[in-house]
Amino acid sequence: MPMEAWCAEHDGSLKLNFHPCARHSINTLPLIVDHLRLLIGPEGGLSANEIAMTTGHRFTDILTGPRVLRTETTVLTAITALQVRFGDLG
């Protein structure tokens, strides 16, 4: 599935885009969330156009911290941080 089609899907999820230049942290997210849609870009990050596209599809940019992580490390870090914040989602 093309990334834009996936991002455009409306399923009621809180849509998150993890990248190192974001302004929001996980702690700024609402506490009550039923479903999440998580986007983690490739090595080298998403392009400016891709980030703009995700913003247009109502993704919230989330800061991964001061370090730039490898893609496979970001996945584990993001899932761990989200589970600490929200617990197990249905």
Q: Give tens-digit pLDDT for 25-68.
A: 888 888 888 888 999 888 888 899 999 999 999 999 998 777 78
**Which neighbouring-strand residues pair with 40?**
18
CATH code at position 46: 3.40.1280.10
CB atoms within 10 A of CB 59: 19
Pairwise CA distance, residues 88 & 70, whole Å = 25
Number of domains in the chain: 1
Are 18 and 74 within 8 A, CB to CB? yes
Q: Give tens-digit pLDDT for 43-54.
A: 888 899 999 999
Could you list the residue range(s) of the whole structural domain that residue 38 is in? Answer: 3-86
